[in-house]
Structure 1
Amino acid sequence: MGLRRTRTRHDGDGGGERGIAVELRDVRRQYGRGPAAVHALRGIDLALPRGSFTAVMGPSGSGKSTFLQCAAGLDHPTTGSVRLGGTKITGMSETRLTELRRTRLGFVFQAFNLLPALTVGQNIELPGRLAGHRPDRRRTAEILARLGLADKARRRPAELSGGQQQRVAIARALVNEPDVVFADEPTGALDTATAAEILSLLRTAVDSLGATVVMVTHDPAAAAYADRVLFLADGLIADSLPRAGAARIAARMTSLTAPAFSRTGAAA
């Protein structure tokens, strides 16, 4: 689909269009203390460029969900630092973090997270409204049209199929042209054909809009849409692959279930 950029993206102090969108430096996340402590992340060092699509995979308990939450400012690292679009968010007040998430980040979840009482158009415009911005109705209409939802603006989520609801969630994530879109198992509740459509939309957003997508997934077929696949194990980045097919990704995932990576103490 013909998604295209319509305005200048946030450059912040992160080095411009070709700068770094997401940067983690020695990020560790520990829950609890003493012998019962859970070390969800054990020292993540990572820099993801703008305009890239990164998939994050790992066995259950590898730390991938904690990674996404820390990278998106939804959770606070125990130690280390996180930068988004050049802005250091570690230590930022919750008020400023909330504002940043509403204006510079997009989120796509497995459960869609649409408000049932609002129309499709109102759901898409909600983050901007919460940030105190007047809705750009032309922008909303444009992105709905480009996602094949031009006639759905006045519908309620319950009147849409699962795939259409996820398209609305993607439209909501992209409408403000955020620094980063974080996607957590975005195709987990969809059938194979619909999942492929959603992943193609995310891929097109990267290629045509210059969006940056970070996606947690358990599905090698979904990860095959990414430019790079990161494999987490035991709270560490155990491996990575440049863009690869599903079979190769699945084989690499299988290797992470070997005994060397099966220690206890990490959280999903």
Structure 2
Amino acid sequence: MRLRKGKRQTVDERPTAPAATPGLAVELRGVQRQYGRGTGTVDALAGVDLGLPRGTFTAVMGPSGSGKSTFMQCAAGLDRPTSGSVFLGGTEITGMSEDELTELRRSRLGFVFQAFNLLPSLTVEQNVLLPMRLAGERQDRRRATEVLAQVGLGDKARRRPGELSGGQQQRVAVARALATNPDVIFADEPTGALDTGTAAEVLGLLRNAVDTLAATVVMVTHDPAAAAWADRVLFLADGAFADHLERGSAEQIAARMAQLTSRTGAMAGAVA
């Protein structure tokens, strides 16, 4: 910090970053995300307060337009909230520069998307090692071998994505997410492009990463069957968490979603 000449600044006067809550992998404090201006302002997130413990599997659900995608983007440092604070792995990220956020995402976060997002020109092993390469770290081939074995693809390292089935490609994406031992794995509709049986296999891998590797998984999904793999399901409505369910079955989750959708629809109709 550069101080003005002739004035000394004591330690107590220096601005300090807010302290993260111990034991939480993801923490949001008063997070708002607004789009537009004036009368056209939309509150995609309306003051979200949330803490997710390390080593847990959380599913986020909600009606269309509830703020699910905005929540994930803000929580993962892909978008900046209008106000509030976001902590990942104990680090406050809200004031980070774009370069700092990029480095954090490459080295401390894992991502699994519906579209797999594998580079077709690279081998399976090279795709898994890509986060290390982009972060400027040594590409640990032993680590790639280890995570590919964990997802049942130990014999596919030299193949290219186009030679694999959709389920196998998503397994590669999970292996890539695990490769850097991230603080948090964010999964955005990871089973949306898969059949029921293959989806269960991929969800089983994410569940296993939590149970045996102490990973933290945050998954946005519209599928109650997928959400049933989580420890807790959070329900978003109008940019705020309106309900939650601990270890619910697919039937219980579907029923809770139906109630929420009906309630929010009735409220929208009353306002109109």
Does the pair score TM above 0.5?
Answer: yes
What does residue 122 of structure 2 align with?
118
- Mind listing any 5+ residue stretches in structure 1 that lack a counterpart? 1-12
Equivalent of residue 245 in structure 1, options 238, 242, 249:
249
* Distance across 2 between alignment mates of 1:209 and 1:15: 22
* Distance across 2 between alignment mates of 1:228 and 1:242: 4
Please tell me whether the aligned partners of residues 67 and 239 of structure 2 are also in contact (alpha carbons under 8 angstroms).
yes
What does residue 100 of structure 2 align with?
96
| CA separation of 1:100 and 1:176: change in aligned 2, threshold 3 A | same
Give the superposition deviation at 1:260. 3.9
Task: Map 1:33-52 onto structure 2 (within 5 A).
Answer: 33-52=37-56
| CA separation of 1:261 and 1:87: change in aligned 2, threshold 3 A | farther
Please tell me whether the aligned partners of residues 234 and 261 of structure 1 are also in contact (alpha carbons under 8 angstroms).
no
| CA separation of 1:262 and 1:135: change in aligned 2, threshold 3 A | farther
The one-letter amino acid paired with 2:112 is V
* Distance across 2 between alignment mates of 1:205 and 1:227: 13
1:153 paired with 2:140, answer: no
- How many aligned residue pairs are there? 250
What does residue 231 of structure 1 align with?
235
Q: Deviations over 1:133-157 (max 9, x none)?
A: 1111111111111211111111110
* Distance across 1 between alignment mates of 2:55 and 2:197: 25
* Distance across 2 between alignment mates of 1:129 and 1:84: 22
Please tell me whether the aligned partners of residues 30 and 37 of structure 1 are also in contact (alpha carbons under 8 angstroms).
yes
Task: Map 1:118-137 onto structure 2 (within 5 A).
Answer: 118-137=122-141
Please tell me whether the aligned partners of residues 53 and 227 of structure 1 are also in contact (alpha carbons under 8 angstroms).
yes
* Distance across 2 between alignment mates of 1:35 and 1:149: 53
| CA separation of 1:263 and 1:127: change in aligned 2, threshold 3 A | farther
Aligned-residue identity in percent = 74
* Distance across 2 between alignment mates of 1:263 and 1:177: 43
SS of the equivalent of 2:125 reads helix
* Distance across 2 between alignment mates of 1:15 and 1:102: 23
* Distance across 2 between alignment mates of 1:178 and 1:15: 18
1:207 paired with 2:199, answer: no
What does residue 222 of structure 1 align with?
226
1:194 paired with 2:193, answer: no
What does residue 3 of structure 1 align with?
none
* Distance across 1 between alignment mates of 2:243 and 2:39: 28
TM-score, structure 2 normalization: 0.90
Give the superposition deviation at 1:105. 0.1
What does residue 176 of structure 1 align with?
180
Give the superposition deviation at 1:35. 1.4
Q: Deviations over 1:200-247 (max 9, x none)?
A: 000000000000000000000000000000000000100001111000
* Distance across 2 between alignment mates of 1:204 and 1:149: 16
Please tell me whether the aligned partners of residues 106 and 134 of structure 2 are also in contact (alpha carbons under 8 angstroms).
yes
* Distance across 2 between alignment mates of 1:250 and 1:43: 26
Please tell me whether the aligned partners of residues 119 and 156 of structure 1 are also in contact (alpha carbons under 8 angstroms).
yes
* Distance across 2 between alignment mates of 1:129 and 1:111: 21
Answer with 69-78 or 134-143: which moved more.
Answer: 134-143
Give the superposition deviation at 1:261. 5.1
* Distance across 2 between alignment mates of 1:77 and 1:14: 17
| CA separation of 1:61 and 1:262: change in aligned 2, threshold 3 A | farther
SS of the equivalent of 1:190 reads coil
The one-letter amino acid paired with 2:209 is A
SS of the equivalent of 1:193 reads helix
Please tell me whether the aligned partners of residues 14 and 21 of structure 1 are also in contact (alpha carbons under 8 angstroms).
no
Please tell me whether the aligned partners of residues 60 and 218 of structure 2 are also in contact (alpha carbons under 8 angstroms).
yes
